[in-house]
Structure 1
Amino acid sequence: MIKKVRETFNENFKQEYYDNLKNDLAQSFGEPCAFRISETPFFIGKELKQEVFDACDTIIEQLWKIDFEQIREKFIPKKLQSPLALGKPHFLAIDFGLCDDGQGGIAPKLIELQSFPSLFLYQALLGKSFLKNYPQIPQEGFHYYLNDLNEASYLEELKRVIVGDENPENVILLEIYPEKQKTRIDFWATKQALGIEVLCLTKVIKEGKNLFYEKNGRKVKINRIYNRVILDELLQMPDLKTDFNLTDDVDVEWVTHPDWFFMISKCIMPLLSHKNIPQSFYLNDFPKDLDLSTYVLKPLFSFAGKGINLNPTLEFIEGIKDRHNYILQSKVKYSPIVKAPSGTNSKVELRILYTWSDTENRLMPVINLTRMNKGDLINVSYLSNDDWVGSSISFFED
């Protein structure tokens, strides 16, 4: 946090700026955002920025020391494994809670990581809209894009990763009932920016090993799938009628391969070690003398905070049958770092978003997603009835 920038922002804040921001986004896509947008972005100074990216670099370095084939066999049931070539993960999201370091400062602490696409196109629009509608945000010296990207080069990067060399007509964004998803604003932003279709899993036509969808009365071949189907949600819909399953052997290129959803996730957190990584244990293999009051219980494969137990007890744990699907993670203390007009400050979770670069043969940071809350869970599905909470973006000092 940069005190001077925050004070200037708060002193000059007007409700009309926030209303204009929301209207700007709603007019772009014909409907308001389905989740709450925070009234404010977050500002990150050079020191915290350096610590965040040092932690990210260490985490990614440790990733490549993990035997992912072994992780695949351990955590993905055979019936859920895709037979197609795994390849490299196209995406990575690393989530940090901005926490009290015990010495009056702020330290980023790893909350989770996932090899699954996030709101890449929406975040770009949100950052642009903040700059457009809030005159008190510094126009120079701060950026929400990462790795020296700008609006044009960022869009080219997303086109390269998602569309590749394909005709956009032969690329789809795949979801389950996309028009009902809270994150649908990102789907519409992706369609608008990249020219690809947003398609429900139930609308995919399978003929042999080929996939198609109908468009304007004709059948269009699908060569590449930008996968946004969260398997946790799909598995809870056993009666969903489809021609095609994510585990089918089909002639298509995945962006990203469905198995990465499992393999780079909370399931590998006990294998990582760093000062910014809270200690984690698999629930079926944790020290018996562990003080459970200092740990949180998390299911390995769920999104939006589902199934998290902030105060696990031994009695509760003994009632869990599939303990291999849970971890215990050391609790962190989020710092109420964002000064809010109501007097109750907001806590922050920062997500650094990566794409895979073929030319550089590495994961590359491209943009960020930021969430704010005043409750115990930092998630847009668990918002308190207050202001200055919800979806946002961070501006990093150069």
Structure 2
Amino acid sequence: MQKDLRAAFNQQFTEAKYDAYMKQIDGISPGNLDFRNAETPIFIPKAFTQKMLHACEDIIDVIVAPNFKALTERSIPDDVRVPGDEKHPQVMVFDFGICENEKGEYEPQLIEMQGFPTLYGFQLLQNEFTTAYAQVPANYSSYLNGYTKETYTALLKEIIVGDHAPEEVILLEIFPEQQKTRIDFYATQQLLGIQPVCLTNLKADGDLLYYVKSDGEKQYIKRIYNRLIFDDLQQQQNLTNIIDLKKAYNVEWVPHPNWFYRISKFTLPFIDNPYVPETFFLNEITQPVNLNEFVLKPLFSFAGMGVVIDVTQADIDKITDPQNWILQRKVNYAPIILTPDEPAKAEIRLFYFWKDEWARPKAAHNLARLSKGKMIGTRYNKDKTWVGGTIAYFEQ
């Protein structure tokens, strides 16, 4: 987006530099980088950053409103509702596409949001290598609101570990060693000292939870950094002896699992901002709409499955639960990142954190993704280069 920085990066790029950079990235946790790390970061001008932050503040106004929990109560499926104190989500993320409007201007458009963690640890470590590799100017930073590596790390520890000893806190997933994002689990373990634990290893002792360590001792758990997505869990086959998470346990959640559903595609119809695409619950549409202008999305799906880009009336007619689907106005991703062959499209994910003493969450860091396919994601970018995960640097 910053033409001078893009030209300078592309000019100095070599495959040898990229290979050396990737050895550093893989070195964060050797053999555990299971997604493509792109050749380039993204450079974001100050005005574009402010538009994204403005949209986030309008969304947060809805989230902090007294009626938000009542508004989103229907978003939580009964079969995955978890008891316990939800208070507020300690973490949330907002995904913006870099788009082109009808005037030919570049603008952010919200694609999705989650009351759920993302690659908080990996991006911190990746940033150190990318800053040097890309020769990022001093007046650009991957952090927001004045955060630095040191203050961001301290914030992450406050949010995830809290007042507990690290051994009393776990990162919960299903088969963490098999997940594509597992490098983040091990990066988080390095940074905070918390253990990734598989749900199959979690045991209940009354209302207490524990797992058995490698030395055979029980480790009781006081706080769970939740990376478990129930939609993913329900895809698993032949799981036995899993504890019932619908029971109440004496444990703190970061974030509470119900926030995964409250802050999600379900929230989009309630947002009014020029950088948030118009969105409707399918069952609440009373006037005809031009389906060519919308994307059809299920409220409950894993990793973007079920999304229909080129919507037809036949797609609508076969849906038996329209209350669980949304129509979201299409956005026009801008092929703005110049690469050695075709230009790439981009999304930026802003990381927000919410400490107990804060009235509102604050932006702190980011990740970005490049794509040359119809959608962002691995299966749309096979055999392509200059695509995949990366990081954005914001003009200060």
Which stretch of the first structure deviates more once superposed, 150-159 or 52-61? 52-61
Query: Match for residue 154 of structure 2?
Result: 156
Contact 2:28 2:183 in 1 (8 A): no
1:260 equivalent to 2:259? Answer: yes
Contact 1:168 1:196 in 2 (8 A): yes
Q: How far is 1:313 from its partner?
A: 1.3
Equivalent position amino acid for 2:245 in 1: L
SS of equivalent to 2:143: coil
Q: How far is 1:68 from its partner?
A: 3.3
Query: Match for residue 185 of structure 1?
Result: 183
SS of equivalent to 1:388: coil
Contact 1:371 1:380 in 2 (8 A): no
Whole-Å separation in 2 of the counterparts to 1:186 and 1:279? 33
Whole-Å separation in 1 of the counterparts to 2:387 and 2:244? 37
Contact 1:270 1:282 in 2 (8 A): yes
Contact 1:283 1:326 in 2 (8 A): yes
Q: How far is 1:14 from its partner?
A: 1.3
Equivalent position amino acid for 1:33 in 2: L
Whole-Å separation in 1 of the counterparts to 2:186 and 2:28? 9
Equivalent position amino acid for 2:266 in 1: C
Whole-Å separation in 1 of the counterparts to 2:85 and 2:347? 34
Contact 1:201 1:242 in 2 (8 A): no
TM-score normalized with structure 2 length: 0.96
Whole-Å separation in 1 of the counterparts to 2:123 and 2:302? 19
Equivalent position amino acid for 1:253 in 2: E
Equivalent position amino acid for 1:335 in 2: A
Whole-Å separation in 2 of the counterparts to 1:8 and 1:89? 40
Contact 1:26 1:32 in 2 (8 A): yes
* Correspondence list, 1:357-372, <5 A: 357-372=355-370
1:280 equivalent to 2:286? Answer: no
Query: Match for residue 96 of structure 1?
Result: 96
Q: How far is 1:63 from its partner?
A: 2.2
What do residues 266-317 of structure 1 show as CA deviations (whole Å, max 9, x unaligned)? 0010111111111111111224410011100011122422111001211121
Whole-Å separation in 2 of the counterparts to 1:73 and 1:302? 18
Equivalent position amino acid for 1:268 in 2: T
Whole-Å separation in 1 of the counterparts to 2:272 and 2:384? 36
What do residues 328-383 of structure 1 show as CA deviations (whole Å, max 9, x unaligned)? 000000000100011x1000011101111223332111111101101110124432
* Correspondence list, 1:68-147, <5 A: 68-134=68-134, 136-138=135-137, 140-147=138-145
Q: What 5-or-longer segments of structure 1 have no aligned partner?
A: none
Equivalent position amino acid for 1:395 in 2: Y
The percent of aligned pairs where both chains have the same amino acid is 41
Whole-Å separation in 2 of the counterparts to 1:168 and 1:7? 45
Contact 1:44 1:394 in 2 (8 A): yes
1:247 equivalent to 2:246? Answer: yes
What do residues 149-200 of structure 1 show as CA deviations (whole Å, max 9, x unaligned)? 1111111000000000001001000000001100000000001110000000
Contact 2:349 2:366 in 1 (8 A): yes
Contact 1:206 1:243 in 2 (8 A): no
Which stretch of the first structure deviates more once superposed, 359-368 or 85-94? 359-368
Equivalent position amino acid for 1:55 in 2: A
Query: Match for residue 395 of structure 1?
Result: 393
Equivalent position amino acid for 2:231 in 1: D
Query: Match for residue 353 of structure 1?
Result: 351
Contact 1:278 1:332 in 2 (8 A): yes
Q: How far is 1:243 from its partner?
A: 3.9
Contact 1:203 1:242 in 2 (8 A): no
Equivalent position amino acid for 1:110 in 2: L
Query: Match for residue 231 of structure 2?
Result: 232
Contact 1:9 1:137 in 2 (8 A): no
Query: Match for residue 196 of structure 1?
Result: 194
Q: What 5-or-longer segments of structure 2 have no aligned partner?
A: none
Which of 379, 382, 391 is the aligned partner of 2:380?
Answer: 382
Whole-Å separation in 2 of the counterparts to 1:72 and 1:330? 21
Q: How far is 1:246 from its partner?
A: 2.6
Q: How far is 1:65 from its partner?
A: 2.9
CA distance change for structure 1 residues 381 and 161 in 2, over 3 Å: closer, same or farther? farther
SS of equivalent to 1:362: coil
Query: Match for residue 328 of structure 2?
Result: 329
Contact 1:373 1:384 in 2 (8 A): no
The number of residue pairs the alignment matches comes to 395
Whole-Å separation in 1 of the counterparts to 2:66 and 2:277? 18
SS of equivalent to 1:122: helix
TM-score normalized with structure 1 length: 0.96
Whole-Å separation in 2 of the counterparts to 1:62 and 1:133? 40
Which stretch of the first structure deviates more once superposed, 233-242 or 243-252? 233-242
Equivalent position amino acid for 1:198 in 2: P
Whole-Å separation in 1 of the counterparts to 2:216 and 2:327? 52
Contact 1:76 1:262 in 2 (8 A): yes
